[in-house]
Amino acid sequence: SASLYDDIYLVNFPWETYSALNANVRGSLTLPVSIAAGPIKVDNQVTRIRIKLPAYPALERVLVFINVTSGALVKSVTFDYTFFDGFAFRVLSMSPEGVPVSTSVFGRTFAYKTEVTFLIANCPQGITPGQLNVTVNEYASQIVSLSHEVTCQPGIPDCNRTRLKVLLAPVSSLGNASVKLMVWNGSGVSSYLRSVATYLPCNYETFCSLQEVPDVLLLQGVSAAKCDTQFCVKQMLVPEASIASVNQTVGVASGGNKVLVEFSNFPALQSTDIEISVSLSSVRLIVATESLSLARGASLRGSTGSLVMTVPVVRIDADQLATVSLKLSLGSTIRTASFEYQYLRLLSGNASVGSFSPVSIMRTDELKLQ
């Protein structure tokens, strides 16, 4: 519909030579724009005008031309303007406007989830977060909060305003990501597609100095996407690892025992970060970490946690003591700890009696030999 535009301020307006002032919009078609007020001299450099945009038959972005005739010349300035449906569901703004892509530190992938805030026009009032769906490159994102900032009577265009906070799913590669918002409007689904810029997060392996190491346990938050020295730790401040307890330290050679190991200062992000080896005689076996848990608040400066491993099968002819070693590498920073596990050989063959007592009895004793 036709509408007044905010005051427009022009510099270098040719007051002494201008003879005409007009405007138009140019898109799929060109329409005249009326000058509603001005030109009015604000000071020696600035001139103010006001225009009235026409009703436009299409929903599209156009260029608004302001044309000043000065002598034999026509000088023009332009700006973008978008004609939109005043009742359509649409996103007015998104903050932040860019999101970091996934990165890697010491072979560990950091897939950042970014919390963004959308300001939405004409979102159905009274809806719940369950009636909204947000995806990034078709991956589902988490609705954090939903609040209706401005609620208007039905029939008033471009009035309702809704604020939506979303934890966006991680983006794996550079290039514009597609964020899609879908809402159930009572009779169907309204959707809005928005392109979002991406950027490379900080390369902490390069950013932290040679005497420092990135705190991989703290880099998971999106606030770490931009380089900050608070996420670098001096190597001398990274404490040595230690094992606090082991729930089983003896078992037969056939293996299979589930062993719970509680430890300190193994800052692992995932199970594969910790290498477990079982060594005895000339044999060294690599064992997988089946599960890993770290206490809340863990960082390179201090952490506690536990892991579960399954004792492997070994072939031995006699009982042997094995060394179970845990190793974690963070670039040049390596942390190790170990404990001992007693393997008992398996019994084989038919059972036999080695000795028994007493070896003779008197008939009157009525003893039973078992």
Over the chain, what is the mean pLDDT?
A: 88
Task: Give the pTM.
Answer: 0.65
Number of Cβ within a 10 Å radius of residue 188:
8
**Residue 362, pLDDT above cutoff 70:** no
Mean pLDDT value across residues 283-305: 91
| pLDDT 10s digits, 192-235 | 888 899 999 999 989 998 788 898 888 877 777 889 999 999 98
Which residues does residue 139 pair with via DSSP β-bridges, in sequence order? Answer: 136
Q: What H or E segment, with its residue span, contains residue 82?
A: strand 73-82
Is the pLDDT at 302 greater than 80? The verdict is yes
Cα 353 → chain centroid: 67
Backbone angles phi, psi at 205, to 5 degrees: -65, -35
Three-state DSSP string of 95-142: ECCEEEECEEECCEEECCCCEEEEEEECCCCCCCHHHEEEEECCEECE
Q: Which of 76, 75, 79 is nearest to 61 (CA)?
A: 79
pLDDT tops 80 at residue 2: no
Residue 138 one-letter amino acid: E
Q: Three-state DSSP class for 229?
A: helix
Residue 236 has pLDDT above 70, yes or no: yes
Phi-psi map region of 86: left, alpha, beta (phi>0 left; psi -120 to 50 alpha) = alpha
Query: Rg for the chain (alpha carbons), in Å?
Result: 37
The average pLDDT across 297-323 equals 92
Pairing between β-strand 142-150 and β-strand 320-330 as defined by DSSP bridges:
unpaired
**Least trusted range by pLDDT, from 93-97, 223-227, 303-307:** 223-227
Q: Residue 200 corresponds to which amino acid?
A: L
**Which structural domains are found in the chain, ordered by start?**
3-82 (2.60.40), 90-199 (2.60.40), 204-233 (no CATH), 242-344 (2.60.40.10)
Query: What pLDDT does residue 348 have?
Result: 65
Residues 215, 226: Cα–Cα separation, whole Å: 14
- Pairwise CA distance, residues 204 & 213, whole Å: 8
Q: What is the pLDDT of residue 25?
A: 93
Q: Is 198 or 85 the better-scoring residue by pLDDT?
A: 198
Of the candidates 171, 123, 169, 183, which has an alpha carbon nearest to the alpha carbon of residue 148?
Answer: 123
Whether the Cβ atoms of residue 114 and residue 96 lie closer than 8 Å to each other: yes
Q: Collapsing DSSP states into helix, strand and coil, what is residue 141?
A: coil
Q: How far is CA 361 from CA 264, 353, 368, in A?
A: 62, 18, 9
Statement: residue 35 has pLDDT above 80: yes
Residue 350 or residue 173, greater confidence: 173
Under 8 Å between Cβ of 95 and 150: no
Q: What is the mean pLDDT of residues 36-65?
A: 90
pLDDT of residue 303: 92
What is the distance between the alpha carbons of residues 315 and 345, in angstroms, rounded to a whole number? 8
Cα 43 to chain centroid distance, Å, stands at 51
pLDDT score recorded for residue 1 = 66
Q: Of residues 238 and 188, which shows the higher confidence score?
A: 238
pLDDT at 251: 93
| Helix residue ranges per DSSP H, the chain | 204-207
Would you state the pLDDT for residue 346? 82
Q: Is the pLDDT of residue 309 over 90?
A: yes
Asked whether the predicted pLDDT for residue 368 surpasses 70, the reply is no
**Is residue 365's pLDDT more than 80?**
no
Q: How does residue 364 score in pLDDT terms, banded at 50, 70 and 90?
A: low
> Are the beta carbons of 346 and 254 closer than 8 angstroms?
yes
- Look at residue 275 in the predicted model and tell me its pLDDT: 93
Structure confidence by residue, pLDDT tens digits, 118-162: 999 988 888 888 888 999 999 999 999 999 999 888 888 888 899
**For residue 237, which phi and psi values (nearest 5 degrees)?**
-95, -5
Q: How many other β-carbons are positioned within 10 Å of the β-carbon of residue 226?
A: 10
CA 154 to chain centroid, in Å, comes to: 38
